[in-house]
Structure 1
Amino acid sequence: MSKLYIGTNTKMYKNIAQTASFLEALGRQTADLSRESMELFVIPSYTALDRVSATARAAGIRLGAQNMGWEDEGQFTGEISPTMLAEVGVTIAEIGHSERRHVLGETDEMENRKVHAALRHGMTALLCVGETKAQRAHGIADEVLRTQLKEGLFGVDAARAEQLWIAYEPVWAIGVGGEPASAAYAEARHAAIRQALFELFGAAGAKIPVLYGGSVNPENAAALAAQPDIGGLFIGRSAWDAERFAAIIRQVLPIFADKAEGRRRS
């Protein structure tokens, strides 16, 4: 990757005022950092999206939604359509977060429909994949990831690959009490993801950003960032304080710059 991809999903935290304050502070904390060198994004709750859209845009922060329905309109009580999200300035649709899959019962087929809806509306589809603790113990993590990718991205043309981001988030490594993956373990899974993307999209698959998320914090961010196949970080609660998030960005930005330069030279 030629730049750092880094962002956060605030889950069901931060009300409208808190989200606005967070984005304003993050904008100030990162104002001196070129957006040519990174894609900085925040994915807040639905209720905040309309109010904070202008704030995010002014701060050079891309705005995402935590979920999205796959139809433009219809009898889908409780869903939010891609047209509604585009109307409030959303450019990223987060799809298939483990809490959507394992708590709310979403399937790979549902994620696939959402991916196609996002692409159809010109959004970046951020597809989240990850294995459970039991699947890790059974030694089938890579098979699980390949299945989630091949089913979730089924029917996507290679010409659309530039609209795709992947987030690898081991289910056992996220949330309260999450157990951070070692840098070596994360790199091995990212390598498997990269291979699956190559099988799906050929050379275009090499350009899809693959971000790591799962208890990323100031102590492990640098080691994760240094891994060859990790193209960015998708951070949870360690990013919910703007000053702390900005410090992590400054910590890993030179590491990604060095990796990009090394690739160019090779």
Structure 2
Amino acid sequence: MKPFWIGTNWKMTKTTKEGLAYVEKLKTFDKDARQAGLQLFVIPSFLSLPSIHPALNGTNIKLGAQNMHWAEQGAYTGEISASMLTEAGVQMIELGHSERRKYFNETDEQLNKKLKTAIHHGIQPLVCIGEDRDTKQAGESAVFNYLAQQIDRALHGIQEEDLSSLLLAYEPVWAIGEQGVPAEAAYIDRIHTFIRNHLRKHYRSVGDSIPLLYGGSVHLDNFHSYRALEHVNGLFVGRAAWDMDLFKQMLTELIQIKSDGGYTR
């Protein structure tokens, strides 16, 4: 059975000390989560990676990074290479987050180069896609076209067999951040169904196996409606996961659902 992914990107929030305290609490869920078929992951800041990696040794919790450059090395001040990340113990790499696109002008073409580098170095890529508010207001056909372009540009020139480790996170821009508006489950269902069918059509050998995560104002009041959707294979949680008192309730409920036999994929 495929795992159900659940994790969080800390963005620029936690210091290394705060991050270590967080993962010590997260580790208490590791065994039960593993038995329940949940795959936990956490994506700290760059500076915290070398300290958090050993803290996660012996667990099934995956460690990710928030970004990387596509070049092996070079005069790229302020950037991080794939080899630097693997040396720090990174297993996953988040690519294409809307904040990287908006604030740092990252393009689909740059994302494509980063994705190829991640695959080359054996780092599991978590590629983020999602439409902005204007595209959503233009109607679902516009949203479908927008997402299809993001996917196809990101995966351009990559062999299907090299996409076996890919994770794809749908994060509508209008639903994330402090001003984000939670999406209706029915809307997410239609979007994820479109994404799955698009992957099946264009990436046949792996189209069914690529996990589709949802992220965007996921919290205690709505995560059950999201996780129950057929084509939602994981949750990429924001602020509700930064506070372990909230996140532990979410994890506890997911673990309990599984142990009661009420959750399958």
Distance 1:206 1:192 in 2: 12
Distance 1:36 1:252 in 2: 8
Distance 2:152 2:76 in 1: 27
Distance 2:195 2:38 in 1: 22
Look up the SS of the partner of 1:206 in the other structure: coil
User: Corresponding residue for 2:157?
Assistant: 155
User: Corresponding residue for 1:223?
Assistant: 225
Structure 1: stretches of 5+ with no match in the other structure: 262-266
Matched-pair contact (CA < 8 Å) for 1:30–1:246: no
Distance 2:155 2:198 in 1: 11
- After TM superposition, give the deviation of residue 96 of structure 1 in Å: 0.3
- Match runs of 1:213-252 below 5 Å: 213-252=215-254
Whichever residue aligns with residue 16 of structure 1, its letter is T
Matched-pair contact (CA < 8 Å) for 2:34–2:60: no
- After TM superposition, give the deviation of residue 95 of structure 1 in Å: 0.2
Whichever residue aligns with residue 154 of structure 2, its letter is G
Structure 1 residues 255 and 31, CA, compared in 2 at 3 Å: closer, same or farther? closer
Structure 1 residues 9 and 107, CA, compared in 2 at 3 Å: closer, same or farther? same
The reply on whether 1:16 has 2:16 as its aligned counterpart is: yes
- After TM superposition, give the deviation of residue 35 of structure 1 in Å: 5.5
- After TM superposition, give the deviation of residue 164 of structure 1 in Å: 0.2
User: Corresponding residue for 1:264?
Assistant: none
Matched-pair contact (CA < 8 Å) for 2:217–2:238: yes
- How many residue pairs align between the two structures? 261
Distance 1:127 1:224 in 2: 19
User: Corresponding residue for 1:2?
Assistant: 2
- After TM superposition, give the deviation of residue 258 of structure 1 in Å: 4.4
Matched-pair contact (CA < 8 Å) for 1:29–1:242: no
TM, length-normalised to structure 2: 0.94
User: Corresponding residue for 2:121?
Assistant: 121
- After TM superposition, give the deviation of residue 32 of structure 1 in Å: 3.0
Matched-pair contact (CA < 8 Å) for 2:30–2:60: no
After superposition, the CA RMSD in angstroms is 1.7
User: Corresponding residue for 1:75?
Assistant: 75
Distance 2:148 2:175 in 1: 19
Look up the SS of the partner of 1:41 in the other structure: strand
Matched-pair contact (CA < 8 Å) for 1:98–1:130: yes
The reply on whether 1:89 has 2:93 as its aligned counterpart is: no
The reply on whether 1:260 has 2:264 as its aligned counterpart is: yes
User: Corresponding residue for 1:34?
Assistant: 34
The reply on whether 1:175 has 2:177 as its aligned counterpart is: yes
Distance 2:48 2:165 in 1: 24
Structure 1 residues 61 and 104, CA, compared in 2 at 3 Å: closer, same or farther? same
Distance 1:251 1:80 in 2: 37
- After TM superposition, give the deviation of residue 161 of structure 1 in Å: 2.1
User: Corresponding residue for 2:62?
Assistant: 62
Question: C-alpha offsets along residues 27-69 of structure 1, whole Å, 9 cap, x if unaligned?
Answer: 1244433267121100010010001101123343110000011
Matched-pair contact (CA < 8 Å) for 1:222–1:251: no
Whichever residue aligns with residue 121 of structure 1, its letter is H
Distance 1:243 1:29 in 2: 13
